[in-house]
Amino acid sequence: MEAINQVVPLPPPDPLAPGIFRLSTPGDLTGMLQQAGFVDVTEQEFLADWSYASAEEYYVSLMEIAAPIQNLMATLSTDQMNEVKRLIIQSLGRYQREDRVTFPIAVRMVAARKPV
């Protein structure tokens, strides 16, 4: 989104709109489940790395799975799309490790039980 915003100004995102990081803050989903009446609610975070063979592979993957980015890219001219791609690939340098692009990730798992 930062790369697109450098090419065309984007309005600020709605902080309450659903998105892939909507429940990323520790305790958010746990609290919702507890408020909904679930019991034995537990939360655990797992840390790992996610890697791609190249910056190009990452870019293709991003364009295939990120619907908000796909929608924004569809509104851009070819020149603007090429500039966004260049900016995205340029930004990946800090994640280059040996011959791969590697990102640290955190996965939050929440489990709960419906009361009997």
Each residue of 25-51: pLDDT tens digit?
Answer: 999 999 999 999 999 999 999 999 999
Parts of the chain with a pLDDT under 70: none
Residues pairing with 103 in the sheet: 50
pLDDT at position 58, please?
A: 95
pLDDT at position 104, please?
A: 96
**Read out DSSP for the chain?**
-HHHHHHS--PPPPTTS--TTTT-STTHHHHHHHHTT-EEEEEEEEEEEEEESSHHHHHHHHHHH-HHHHHHHTTS-HHHHHHHHHHHHHHGGGGEETTEEEEEEEEEEEEEE---
